[in-house]
A and B are shown apart, each in its own frame.
Chain A
């Protein structure tokens, strides 16, 4: 099926029912033809309208079912029009479908839809959108029901899902509106319970998350996005600061044990959810005790993520029945094959802890002051080991790791910390607030510069780096303008330390050939997936270029993979979301003998690909209260030698409540009819 019969998606009506082949570009590009690789998507009903692929679908019955699910399963009952209005809507639709309707009922539907605009949040009003569309554009079908002569229709199954733009955008799919609502009601404990349903590292992702959710916050269409991340921190800090015991209770202990490679965000997350299900988990961590957390620990400096607070999240996970064996390299101290024999299932979550080379002349010579890489530098500094750093430090790169390196260099006692980047500030992939933070601390930035060659003295000590000036040309695949060297512009930047920080790779040598596990050309672990194609016949991929719906089992049965080593180096929150799914798949594999994705998983992926947030949507609201900023320590002193005190201080509870009150609670319901 490559043609849409009817669509009001995006509030533009395309009607091909009487012939014609008008297209809906977003549907054609973003919506898969099948729901789960097999069953075709016949129709989709949601906040943005109706997409009807199969004209045989009974739109009236579908709308009635949609109204029922909204009222009975999702309506929170916290405002009168929502609670009562959607009930009237449901009963009116039911009456029509039961053949007891009257034409006046159609008016009632439109009247209720109008009244729902007075609702407290967006759930009920947005759910009226597709229903009203059906009344408007499928009136004949309604009248047929009312006359007692409903037309024959195709048999379909309905899949329903509650989502929200922020929740959809969050790779861990945290129920953000729910936890913000709880904070609004000063139910900090309840907020944290909601967060933990999808995020077992709330203290971490309340601090260092790049918060993609906030880029999909509808409040931004009014003024500025809700500070979702700091609200998460508030909930987490509340528990910690009031010495409350976390409320989770693991299910009775089961027999099958699971080994996990790596105590990073992915490994810890999978362990958390499997432990809650009663599965004893053993995590093998190559770093010594006190340095659990993977990249959150050794990759994120303590001024952003204080160790004791990270440790608290880890300790909570361990208290559920997770054991971490430190100082143990899988592949060296114990082999993957041995693990597979000892445990019922194995999850590979080793992360990406090896810096990519810069491709600079002299890089491999082992000069004094030419460090292996940013991630190794951060790790050594974190663990209190000698870093080999001098006084004038150049860091090459434009990502968050590069920024972390220059800021840590200052705290390690560098007189000068200089960041060299081949494009301009605008193109830096690092988060803008991190760049601002580095600037405030006195980091020097050199833009449009490409290092070519390391300059050393007779003792093979670094004295500088020869660079060439760049200029920006045409945009490349990533949309950023491609930097090009300006010939003859070579010059030397003096320094005694050079740190490449242009990216990381997983270290996968422990996955030996005999396991049969495939490795991609990007040095990530191959996992199985369900191929989903759009109407143009193209494979649907995630933003990292991986297949959209992956099952996360490797080519070796019983061995799964997750985190940076599966996705490619990304974020903590991406690892958490990915590992949560891996945990669920592992459980299915252990209990049912099959690794598979559920309808919920597919629905989640389909919506993420389709997009729930529309930055062009006009959101009528009085912009009376702008975003609150968290308290922060300012001044260069905060980066003085040895000062790893936390820089950002979070909200007070009362400010958190005010910020939470800014949330528009943009829940919406998606219903997919499949054949």
Chain B
């Protein structure tokens, strides 16, 4: 069974990757990869109160999602959405667990509402005005693949455009030792059922048991393995190279995703 869609916009933000425009030069090999800590832009689209309360996962989601949707020339309010993250806001989780283990368990309302896995989805809909459906997913290290499959089934079954927002943020100690996600990384893709003027590539996705592709650059490969959302990087590299290519992405256990990429 193969699911086909067109990618109309890409958002990318991570260590040493500050957007799709510069990122594709790095992934395509024309610029060297120079890792440095991810710089998260302030979430300008949020009202002031929400802006103050928003954590890294919200900033990352907004930055990557808006980049992809602007590239596709679409209105964010019109798009259904798929949010996929291994575990949401690790800093916030740490703060809550620390307080709950202390003598004063009175966590703040903001801490609590930021603790839900769909916090980024909630802020996204407030920022963009999107009253459309949103799927909010986790599949641990398989979260990128699970999000891509969910988004593709929306495109294919419901015949709609959708935006996939796959984002993970850093875990502080002591959680970091148990879940070593070192930095923020996100990929956003606008997917469409038909080929439009903005189409960058066609993708045709099926399940496979072939081994997942690795990245040649050792630092990029380390990034791919370290952060679940970065498991989508081989797909972005294939698009950056602008040539027909078959890539295999990590998914769940022995199951992986084969993606036939054809530039438009």
Determine if chain A interacts with chain B. no
Which residue numbers of A lie inside 8 Å of B, CB to CB?
none
